[in-house]
Amino acid sequence: MSKTTIESFSCPLPKMDYTTIQLAHGAGGRLSAELLEKVFLPCLGNETLNRLDDQAVLETPGGRLSFSTDTFVVSPIFFPGGNIGDLAVNGTVNDVCMNGAVPKFLSIGFVLEEGLPISELHEIVTSVRNAADKAGVRIVTGDTKVVEKGSCDKLFINTSGIGFIPEGLHISAANLKPGNKIILSGTLADHGMAVLTARKGLSFQTTVRSDTAALNGLVSSILPVGGINAMRDPTRGGAAAVLNELAVSSGVGIELDERKIPVLDAVRGACEILGIDPLYTANEGKLIAVVEADAAETVLKAMRQHPLGENAVIIGTVTGDNPGQVLMENSLGVKRIVDMPVGEQLPRIC
């Protein structure tokens, strides 16, 4: 009958660095974190949301579900290696499976700009279908909104996904322990540089392709090995953001070996020309796994046998020193702090 009165929630407007939204509030760096900590969490926070994992773990009578959402606003909507359609499927599949869940169902919500060619929409929806088939998930519900010309930029896509977490599995950003090894599944910065070079119309764009891919197959091929404490896919903010979040969540330090971090030559070249650090650049088909030291070599071997993990390497170690910090040693043996990204390197990368 719901005649009970629920006390209305209110909280004062927080003091923030800016009074209006900046591009960097969506970049996955420090301003994103401020928006989260001062606006979203005080208003919406609860035990599940406060974990700040890329997906929620929901206890249900039939077991634990993994639930995640992501809105895709990438520009341009077509880029070398993919488009906003497969990106939207792969991105949510990846968020759902980073706790070991098996992704099964996706919703899709389109915002279309008046005037968008239906041929472009059709090509994107075809990519959605193919990406879903490849990842083994089904699109089960959807929504379409249209806004006036000028009220959005071509199209935005939200996908939300549901997966099932195998019993007994507990993978979380808070599980890192000193001595654990950091494994990266492949080269960094492919997606970010593919989008950026496409946007700028640069000539090397043909050799730089997005790595957009669903990682659930790779995840299910390494999980049986055991010893995996945490997994994350380094998207916005790149590996630097993810490693900082892991270090903070677990209250540990992380030490990286710069020489071990794989970057394709063409991508490195593009990064150098544009003054961009691959460590801070988005990936859409890579994962970082933090594993027990004695399992590291076996996990690495299993990863390398999967097409999406052929270039996997151990890039660092978890330490008890410098909790919450990521350090990186270069070829000269000099260590520097890898900070949380602050500003917007590449807006609308996903």
8 A C-beta contact, residue 130 and residue 86: yes
Binding mask 60-79 for a copy of itself (x = CB under 8 A): xxxx-x-xxxxxxx-x----
Instruction: Restricting to residues 10-39, name those near a copy of itself by CB under 8 A.
Output: 10-11, 13-14, 16, 18-27, 32, 35-36, 39
The residue (of 46 and 203) whose beta carbon lies closer to a copy of itself is: 46
Q: x-or-dash pattern for a copy of itself, window 134-163, by CB under 8 A? A: x---xxxxxxxxxxx-xxxx--x-x-x-x-
Q: Is 100 left (phi over 0), alpha (psi -120 to 50) or beta?
A: left
The site string for a copy of itself over 276-315 (x = CB under 8 A, - otherwise) reads -----------------------------xxx--------
Strand order across the beta sheet in which 56-60 lies: 56-60, 63-72, 155-164, 102-113, 138-147
Residue 157: closest CA among 204, 200, 201, 116: 116
Peptide bond into 76 cis (omega under 30): yes
Closest approach, Cβ 39 to a copy of itself, in A, equals 6
Query: What residue ranges in 185-267 does DSSP mark as E strands?
Result: 228-232, 253-257
| 102 binds a copy of itself per the rule CB under 8 A | no
Count of residues near a copy of itself by CB under 8 A: 99
Q: How far is the CB of 325 from a copy of itself (least distance, A)?
A: 25
List beta partners, residue 230: 290
Q: Whole-number minimum distance, CB 62 to a copy of itself, in Å?
A: 2
**Pattern 237-256, a copy of itself, x by CB under 8 A:** --------------------
Of the pair 132, 189, the CB lying nearest a copy of itself is at 132
Q: Is 109 left (phi over 0), alpha (psi -120 to 50) or beta?
A: beta
3-state secondary structure of 147: strand
Least Å from the CB of residue 127 to a copy of itself: 9
